[in-house]
């Protein structure tokens, strides 16, 4: 509960990290071919699958609130897929470099870095042990930049497989270094949050903040929302809020017993 690094000595933690790495490799491929605004919210399905598998193999109780949360997550994901934005086409590292030079993205990245440093070195020592938002905000903010790095590296890999001399381009290596740094920071502070606070509190808050940060970053960098009609904007936001509601029900009330006696008499 002190936010240390004792988990690095546990083989089970490394096994879990390896399994997560395999899953993130598939997630990496998804970011290459689809907008981040679509891929990131669909990560809620992993929470749903985890709940079902835990109920099946670990004998954890999935109450009525959890089942309703699973249904809401599926419905919200379906709505988001239907109304997903079509991102501005980025097919080369040159076009990616131009987007990274955009003043709007530069301002966003600077704000993320400055706020993360303040949270780590100022707010962390004072409030990190008492407020769950401190470390989760660091993970979410840095995570939005890591998704941008993933998109850039995916483009670099596509060019590499097509025979272009990508290895001579410095941007690809810069994105790789930035991705390693961002992921290291995310793992460190997410484990701090999970070590100090309950998983049922950390998971839904992290999902909401991380997804919101990624959607903002993608909207600024790739102009994903620029050509969307009002119906699709409302559908995307509604689907996201539906998923958030499902995740909230699934985690917040998972330890609450629910019996027919709690229902009103007329039901």
The whole-number average pLDDT for the span 77-95 is: 77
Q: How far is Cα 252 from Cα 245, in angstroms, rounded to an integer?
A: 10
Helix then strand then coil, % of the chain, to nearest 5? 80, 0, 20
pLDDT tens-digit series, residues 123-162: 888 888 888 889 999 999 998 898 888 888 888 888 888 8
Query: Rg of the chain's alpha carbons, rounded to an integer?
Result: 20
Give pLDDT, residue 117.
93
pTM (2 decimals)? 0.78
Length, in residues, of the chain: 267
Give pLDDT, residue 41.
76
The owner of tokens 């309703």 is 68
The owner of tokens 């017993």 is 257
The domain spans of the chain are 35-87+229-255, 92-223
**Residue 177's pLDDT band (boundaries 50, 70, 90)?**
very high
**Per-residue pLDDT at 88 exceeds 80:** no
The whole-number average pLDDT for the span 220-225 is: 80
Q: How far is Cα 2 from Cα 195, in angstroms, rounded to an integer?
A: 7
Alpha helix (H) residue ranges in the chain: 11-33, 36-39, 44-57, 64-82, 93-100, 103-118, 124-127, 133-161, 170-196, 199-221, 230-252
Q: Name which residue leads in pLDDT, 25 or 15.
A: 15
Give pLDDT, residue 185.
92
Q: Name which residue leads in pLDDT, 4 or 68.
A: 68
Q: Which residues are within 8 A (CB) of 177 and not within 5 positions of it... i.e. 6 or more apart?
A: none
Give pLDDT, residue 51.
75
Q: How far is Cα 38 from Cα 83, in angstroms, rounded to an integer?
A: 9
Two tokens at 25? 């490799």
Give pLDDT, residue 260.
58
Two tokens at 254? 């998972």
Give pLDDT, residue 250.
77
Nearest partner of 133 among 24, 206, 51, judged by Cα: 206
**Per-residue pLDDT at 4 exceeds 70:** no
Angle among Cα 73, 78, 83 to the nearest 5 degrees reads: 125
- Mean pLDDT is lowest, of 10-14, 101-105, 199-203, 240-244, for 199-203
Q: How far is Cα 180 from Cα 264, in angstroms, rounded to an integer?
A: 53
Residue 18 CB-density burial (10 A; 0-12 exposed, 13-18 middle, 19+ buried): exposed
Q: Name which residue leads in pLDDT, 149 or 47.
A: 149
């Amino acid at each position: 509960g002190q936010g240390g690094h004792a988990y690095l000595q546990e083989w089970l933690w490394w096994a879990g990290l390896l399994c997560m790495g395999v899953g993130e490799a598939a997630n990496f491929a998804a970011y290459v071919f689809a907008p981040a605004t679509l891929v990131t919210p669909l990560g809620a399905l992993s929470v749903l699958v985890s709940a079902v598998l835990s109920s099946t193999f670990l004998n954890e109780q999935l109450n009525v609130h959890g089942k309703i949360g699973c249904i809401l997550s599926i419905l919200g994901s379906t709505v988001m897929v239907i109304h997903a934005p079509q991102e501005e086409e980025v097919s080369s590292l040159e076009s990616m470099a131009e987007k990274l030079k955009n003043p709007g993205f530069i301002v966003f990245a600077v704000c993320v870095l400055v706020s993360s440093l303040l949270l780590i070195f100022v707010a962390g020592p004072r409030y990190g042990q008492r407020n769950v938002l401190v470390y989760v905000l660091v993970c979410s903010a840095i995570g939005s930049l890591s998704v941008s790095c993933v998109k850039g590296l995916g483009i670099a890999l596509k060019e590499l497989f097509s025979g272009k001399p990508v290895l001579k381009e410095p941007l690809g290596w810069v994105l790789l270094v930035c991705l390693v740094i961002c992921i290291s920071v995310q793992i460190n502070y997410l484990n701090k949050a999970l070590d100090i606070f309950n998983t049922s509190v950390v998971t839904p808050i992290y999902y909401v903040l991380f997804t919101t940060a990624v959607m903002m970053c993608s909207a600024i960098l790739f102009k994903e929302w620029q050509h969307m009609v009002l119906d699709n904007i409302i559908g995307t936001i509604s689907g996201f809020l539906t998923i958030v509601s499902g995740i909230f029900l699934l985690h917040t009330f998972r330890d609450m017993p629910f019996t027919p006696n709690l229902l009103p008499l007329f039901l």
